[in-house]
Amino acid sequence: MNHNFIENQNWRYATKKFDATKKISNEDLTFLKEAIRLSASSYGLQLYKIFIIENPEVRAKLQPASWGQSQIVDASHLFVFAHSTDVQDAQIDEYLANISETRDIALADVKGYGDFMKSNLVGLPLEKKAVWTSKQTYLALGNLLNAAAELKIDVTPIEGFLPEQYNEILGLTAKGYAASLVAAVGYRHKDDATQHLAKVRKSTAELFETI
């Protein structure tokens, strides 16, 4: 049995201090992007977009909107997961066209699936749509966390930020998106004392119950 996955999960932690001199290679960045792209998503719709912020000036603007956290500017890359603020027929039609092309089947053969999705999603209140699409970004974050650990790349998920300010700074609202979570991605600094602390989690007996 391969225990590398569990070992890597024990290795990872929410990095508090990143080494600003270390950058992720293009090859590893491509790997992380692909891991996110292949994430599970309800219906397969992927109603979100990930904005990868490299520009130091933009990141300096985002830091005050992130409770001043140093990870925002020191990490190699900053991933902003943004969910679609609305779900309309057009987005589902785009997905159906993708299915048709990818699987080489007629659009008519997936019309029923499309109608089913539209009946369940399009008529929902905007607030419920936003809650649902924002949840999808957490599934994508999970793949980023796991894939990065395999490469010994550190990821710090961040919910401590002001979404409205992120939306304004990055121009997300005009694109139909809203920031839902942030991930600082890079390499831990040798002086980050947190890396030496024992991982604290519930015991297996406490966390699981078989019925």
Q: Is residue 55 part of a domain?
A: yes
Q: What is the CATH number of the domain that holds 36?
A: 3.40.109.10
| Under 8 Å between Cβ of 41 and 140 | yes
Q: For residue 2, what pLDDT is reported?
A: 63
Q: Does 202 fall in a domain? A: no
How many domains are there within the chain?
1
**Position 197 in a domain:** no
Which tens digits make up the pLDDT trace of 36-71? 999 999 999 999 999 999 999 999 999 999 999 999
Would you say 16 and 190 are in contact if contact means Cβ atoms under 8 Å apart?
no
Instruction: In whole angstroms, give the CA distance from residue 80 to residue 69.
Output: 15
Residue at 200 is within a domain: no
- Nearest CA-CA partner of 92 in 130, 122, 50, 126: 122
Condensed to tens digits (0 to 9), the pLDDT of residues 70-83 reads 999 999 999 999 99
**Residue 81 falls inside a structural domain:** yes
Residue 34 lies in a domain: yes
pLDDT of residue 3: 74
Domain limits for position 162: 4-87+124-189
Pairing of strands 77-84, 154-158: unpaired
Has residue 105 been placed in a domain?
no
For the chain, which residues score pLDDT lower than 70?
Answer: 1-2
* Strands of the 77-84 sheet, one edge to the other: 48-53, 77-84, 177-186, 154-158
